[in-house]
Amino acid sequence: MPLTLQVSGHEVAVHEVDRAADTDVQDVIDACGTGILAALSPRPAARDVHLVRLAVPPDGDPASKEVHAVRLDGRAVGVIEGLRHHPRSGDCTVRVFAIIPEARRRGIGTAVADAMIDLLRRQGVTELHVWFDPDEADGGGPSARRFLAHLGFEPPRPAPAGAGDPRLLAARRSI
């Protein structure tokens, strides 16, 4: 699902991550803080690129997992992790959607989310779920709620029991 967008005169590319991009993904995690990975593991674990690449919820299919890097003019500035056909066929669950602090408030996240929602809709996805940590100070909590509301998501509720950390919230949107 490679995407290339123009945002304020800059090229934003989204592409599936391979092992060669692990360093870039780790750089994004380090810049955003490991709290962005709360939806991936219910217990303390190494909060690094390996968790992003390997963690799957108990009711998830490892074959449906996708990890994408977001690049701004060639530099990794974001990471997206999700599962297709989760929790049901025709659904998609996003558990990590992170843009590094210095690239936020520039329209990148909104442009990428809008393009991905459009692509998922064209691929037959009818419902999108996003899990997030309501306490994450840097990119979670109130800013995540505002971002999801801006994108048309319903108000968040507690995430399903198998989501990981019991504090997680889930927002959904029909697409």
Say whether pTM exceeds 0.85.
yes
110: burial class by Cβ within 10 Å (0-12, 13-18, 19+)?
middle
Residue 45: the pLDDT is: 58
Residue 22: the pLDDT is: 86
With tokens 């955003």, the residue in question is 32
User: Which residues of the chain have a pLDDT value below 50?
Assistant: none
* Cα separations in angstroms, 154 against 73, 74, 109, 173: 33, 33, 18, 6
62: burial class by Cβ within 10 Å (0-12, 13-18, 19+)?
exposed
What is the rounded distance in angstroms from the CA atom of residue 150 to the CA atom of residue 160?
A: 23
Query: Mind listing the pLDDT tens digit for each residue in 12-57?
Result: 999 998 887 889 999 998 898 877 777 777 655 566 788 887 888 8
Tally of structural domains, the chain: 1
Residue 55: the pLDDT is: 86
In sequence order, which residues have a C-beta less than 8 Å from that of residue 3 and are 6 or more positions away? Answer: 13, 14, 15, 112, 115, 116, 119
Residue 34: the pLDDT is: 73
Residue 138: the pLDDT is: 57
Beta bridge partners of 16: 68
| Residue 136, domain CATH | 3.40.630.30
Residue 32: the pLDDT is: 86
Residue 44: the pLDDT is: 53
For residue 129, give the nearest of 162, 95, 99, 89 by alpha carbon.
95
What is the rounded distance in angstroms from the CA atom of residue 81 to the CA atom of residue 40?
A: 9
Instruction: Work out the angle at residue 136's Cα, subtended by the Cα atoms of residues 77 and 92, and round it to the nearest 5 degrees.
Output: 65
Q: Structural domain of residue 87, as residue ranges?
A: 3-174
Residue 47: the pLDDT is: 67
Residue 38: the pLDDT is: 76
